[in-house]
A and B are shown apart, each in its own frame.
Chain A
């Protein structure tokens, strides 16, 4: 009897190891099942939180809410007029591309989502959203958040947060710009230097990313703005990422990597602690 039990345990251990390995291999599929199974429970609690947030807004004075609404309507009208201009520009661009026999650019559709789950152990590297493939989200799509405008008006309203790394029917996981596995093709418009931005880890309490493959002969300035280059099909160009980091003397944090390239550190502009609502830019299907 005792020897039978030993055989049972000896058989159970390799089976457990195989099961673990299987989960690891099919992690993405297993994630989809687990995330969708837990979604109704977590979303239910999130809806209670949202109801409380809405109640807090409704508790504000009506006059204040009306003023905000009117202001938003004005902003909306201005945006519509600007959008019309951009649509004309886009049609001109498409016509030029057609004449030059260049491939047409695909557009991006926007999906709005809310942050609904966060891992305390990977707080600034990864979080989950309450929208998934049902809303049209795909892996690799860029994720943006609203930022507070600084004193200069040239600062964009939105900043790049990261990209979608896993997606299930109802949820999507965002790998943030602080995640070492998250990479973006970037451009420094002032010094006209291309590079690849990768996430980095916290260094002495500050979050610093790294820009690799910057041409060595380009002089980079501290505080220079960083935008996406748009070389990848999944990320549109011109998304604001952050600034080139400065050391205590105000000089850019740059290291020469080899005879061809240099590396620079950057400060991501998205405040990941305070985000709640996000915008996902999903590339439209090619015709």
Chain B
């Protein structure tokens, strides 16, 4: 239990730092959103709800954003693994491109609205759409790579992997 929690904490920290560093270079990569999706797929969305809320708040606080929105978006991303059940559990690596893109869009679009709504400033819409497309594309590319990397590590550590996950179940033991 403690080992699993430590691994999850370390993964979150690594994703948080990588996302903030890439963000400092102007590249918006939804690493945390993809990681939340991965962990929710593996461990079950019910378990990941609270960590996702906390990590969403932390990323907004680290960036000193005016409103903490990610702590609402991240738990919503936790529900994305339920898409797998629509596909009757037959998931390939390419299937994960779609949730990656959705996670990318979900992590940028609310901010676009937050910037537009005060004063109805539609002039930022083109650049906002470009940012969302960038996040969607990077999310779609990152998600399969992240699954390959994290699954191979999970196998080494004897932890559950995404391929053995059963959508909608509370916890996947991987055995």
Contacts and interface: CB of A to CB of B under 8 A. Distances in A.
Interface of A: 12, 16, 19-20, 23-24, 27, 30-31, 33-35, 38, 41-42, 45, 116-123, 126, 128, 165-166, 173, 180-181, 201-204
Q: Which 8 A-B pairs have the closest CB atoms?
A: A34-B61, A173-B64, A120-B28, A119-B63, A120-B23, A118-B24, A121-B111, A201-B121
A27 B13 CA distance: 20
Interface stretch (B66-74, B92-100, B147-155): B66-74
Contacts of A27: 61, 68
Given A16-B53, A201-B124, A202-B127, A117 B61 contact: no
Interface string B49-90: 110010001100111111110011001000000000000000
B71 A23 contact: yes
A182 to B, nearest CB: 12
Contacts of B28: 120-121
Contacts, number: 92
B62 A120 contact: no
Nearest to A122: B65
A203 B67 CA distance: 24
Given A42-B20, A120-B28, A202 B61 contact: no
A173 B63 CA distance: 9
Contacts of B21: 42, 45
Contacts of B124: 201-202
Contacts of A126: 63-65
Contacts of B131: 120-121
A35 B62 CA distance: 5
A123 B63 CA distance: 11
Contact of A120 (B26, B58, B66): B26
28 contacts: A16-B53, A19-B53, A20-B72, A30-B61, A31-B61, A31-B64, A34-B57, A38-B20, A41-B13, A42-B17, A42-B20, A42-B21, A118-B23, A118-B26, A119-B63, A120-B27, A120-B28, A121-B63, A121-B108, A122-B65, A122-B111, A123-B26, A126-B63, A126-B64, A128-B63, A128-B64, A180-B119, A201-B119
Contacts of A128: 63-64
Contacts of A30: 57, 61
B131 to A, nearest CB: 7
A30 B115 CA distance: 23
Contacts of A116: 24
A35 B53 contact: no
A38 B62 contact: yes
A20 B53 contact: yes
Contacts of A20: 53, 57, 68, 71-72
A156 to B, nearest CB: 28
B4 interface: no
Contacts of A121: 28, 63, 65, 108, 111, 131
